[in-house]
Amino acid sequence: MNVLDSSFLIIGEGVTYQHCSNFFKNNQIKYQSTTTDNIINISNKEIICKNQNITIDTIDYIVVSPGISPSNNAIKDLKKVGCKITTDIEIVQSLSRSKFICVTGTNGKTSTVNLIADIMNDNNLKTIACGNNGVSVFESLLGEYDYVVLELSSYQLEYITTLNSYISVVLNISPDHLDRHINLENYLEIKLKIFNDSKHKIISKDLNHCHDYSTFEVRDSRFYSNDVKLKDLSIVDDSYISYQSNSYPIHGIHESRNLCACISVLRIIGLSLKDILESFSRRKHLEHRVEEFVTFNDIKFINDSKSTNADSTHNALMSIKGNIILIMGGDIKTMSYDILNDSINEKVKKLILIGENRELLNKALRVSSKKVFCNSLEHATSYIFSVMSPGDTILMSPGTSSYCMYDNYQQRGNHFKELINNYVSQKN
């Protein structure tokens, strides 16, 4: 695919449209856009829309939003007349020199993708995590990365024809999106497309198709890779893993399975088990990064002050279960906060906006969650203390830089922890 000399039609108006259109504009690539609702008729020569007619001969490739089902009549008609459909993933891969590590599964994708990337970066392998985790795959073209760790959903995989990956991983499969995929068998087959054109193929031993691929497994508190027990590595009470004379905390069996998949990938890269676990340990204890620092009356308090953009706040929200009271605000950046709309609407019962730029942040967000405006972090925590209840999680994940209120994110995070700890100590 000669991307720079091709012309594109983007169908859809969501996140994929935004990322593709920005990339095409920045690189002076010809493109048009429309929506399936806007299409009236499709012939061999043109696409007739409500507000425009698009000549098919002027379009080399069509990029379809993953949110649009291949069963959509307009998409089926476009295929019938011979239109070539591609994806943002394939566009990026055609331009990239990086090796791709692709990960899919019903659950744990984002955690595993970020874990792999974090450990690789900790071991001096320049890596970016992107894809369905909220970071645009186009961002991988902005730096010279050794590896791109890519999270892929079933919706994305449906449209991908060629996936040029160095390593591909299927974590797990359980019934999901069956309104679109009809049944579990079809859903599984779509997920298995991740192995097309992949050099190394890794899959959970729990899946029926595992006999064709390399496997990872956690069984009887022991870790296995390709049916070989990872020596001296075991789980204790689903709360930590032990390796030789060291122990590393985990949060349940689901995290141990994600770690096992991660180990399988990183051993192919050439990292030792010792280096992997040491990096894992360092990552787990990083301050100001989704840091659960105290629990009081069955209320969890999490400091994510390192979050200085929408993507990082989104990742924090997706890692937390239960009712969330979210604190955001600071020195707002010129960026899209659209990625947060769904995650806030789904997971946040109260959104606390703080600082001088709280009204600007409010305008950048399109959320239905109940919003409260506070002048400062002191004001926000005081309000939270009056409304929180057992089972809540209080998350400070600003999604902004700190400079209009604090010297740096560390100062901001420490102030938040100080306010909470002082409250807890007074109540005890």
pLDDT at position 13: 86
Q: Which CATH superfamily is domain 291-427 in?
A: Mur ligase, C-terminal domain (3.90.190.20)
What's the pLDDT tens digit per position in 147-201?
A: 999 999 889 999 998 888 999 999 988 656 667 777 888 888 889 999 998 999 9
pLDDT at position 175: 59
- pLDDT at residue 15 tops 80: yes
| Sheet of 61-64, strand order | 30-34, 7-11, 61-64, 85-86
Between 194 and 238, where is the model more confident?
194
Per the prediction, the chain carries an average pLDDT of 89
Q: Distance (Å, rounded) from C-alpha 348 to C-alpha 315?
A: 13
Task: Work out the angle between the directed axes of helices 310-318 and 109-122 (0-180°, nearest 10).
Answer: 120
- pLDDT at residue 124 tops 90: yes
pLDDT at position 231: 87
Cα dihedral angle (375, 380, 386, 392), rounded to 10 degrees?
150
For the chain, give every domain's residue range.
3-86, 90-284, 291-427
What's the pLDDT tens digit per position in 78-115?
A: 999 999 999 999 999 999 999 999 999 877 788 889 89
- pLDDT at residue 286 tops 70: no
- pLDDT at residue 421 tops 90: yes
Q: Which CATH superfamily is domain 90-284 in?
A: Mur-like, catalytic domain (3.40.1190.10)
- pLDDT at residue 133 tops 90: no
- pLDDT at residue 400 tops 90: no
What's the pLDDT tens digit per position in 211-225?
A: 789 999 998 889 998
Is CATH 2.40.10.120 the right assignment for the domain spanning 3-86?
no
